[in-house]
Copies of this chain bind each other. A is one copy, B any other.
Amino acid sequence: MSTEPPRLVEAGAQEQEDRFADIRAVLAGLTPRERMLVVAERLFADEGLAAVSVRGITAAAQVNLASLHYHFGSKEGLLEAIFEARAKPIADERMRRLAECAEAPGRPPLLEQLLFAFLHPALTLGLEPRFGGPAFARLRARLGSESEKVSRRILSKAFDESSKAFMAAMQAALPDLPRGEFAWRFHFLLGTMVYTMADSGRIQSLTGNACDPADGRAALDHLIPFLAAGFRAPSIVGSGAAP
């Protein structure tokens, strides 16, 4: 935000206390293209899209500046490539688990089963620490409040299909809930999920680390009963108790 202190050397060229020391060994075994993907994912998640420069990315990935445009065409192309690599597996896994729910004997599937199938991939997949932990989750959360056009298109492309499939299944599991009410509650579901993935540090600051949103498993354990109860709350527009 404020003017950076004048760089002594070419921008981003020096080591700057290597932020990727923890995965330097992993990075060394990757191709330049893959290195850029991994590094940019984490930098975007930590600093925001606009705050990260292509020079910063290429320096951290230890590749030449022009390599980024050679492989991805532009900074935005790099972002799309990250989503291609990370979001698709999550969406695919969601669809796979939804199919499993539908095939299970006791139909229609329980609300809790659907919530788990929807949330588990997002909150735990791609969290392998060898790739720098929950970087993609934070990036996805951040994209929800970025520069509109770009991010909205990318999120739609990545998640619309699986989200809509789950909305239909959950609606079927809640036959008494009016459509409008259900839309609001699904919106709230997305809010808890995205806010957890963002791990803004706010709840830690308020409670002194009483809970840690980065712990995807714990988050799920607490989130599912909370959401299930919310979804099953009586509707505020003519409830099922109408005469």
Contact = CB atoms under 8 A, between A and B. Distances in A.
A221 B192 contact: no
A15 to B, nearest CB: 21
Interface string A87-122: 000000000000000000000000000000000000
A181 B236 CA distance: 26
Contact of A205 (B49, B152, B200, B232): B152
Given A49-B1, A50-B48, A164 B194 contact: no
Interface stretch (A6-14, A18-26, A126-134, A183-191): A183-191
A85 interface: no
A106 B228 CA distance: 29
A118 to B, nearest CB: 13
B147 A210 contact: no
B183 A210 contact: yes
Contacts of A152: 200-202, 205
Contacts of A47: 147-148
Interface string A153-183: 0011000100110010000000000011101
A112 to B, nearest CB: 11
A174 B198 CA distance: 27
A66 interface: no
A241 interface: no
Interface in A11-59: 46-51
24 contacts: A1-B76, A1-B79, A48-B49, A141-B145, A144-B145, A144-B195, A152-B201, A156-B205, A160-B205, A180-B210, A181-B222, A183-B207, A183-B211, A184-B211, A187-B203, A188-B195, A191-B191, A191-B192, A191-B196, A192-B195, A222-B236, A225-B233, A225-B236, A227-B230
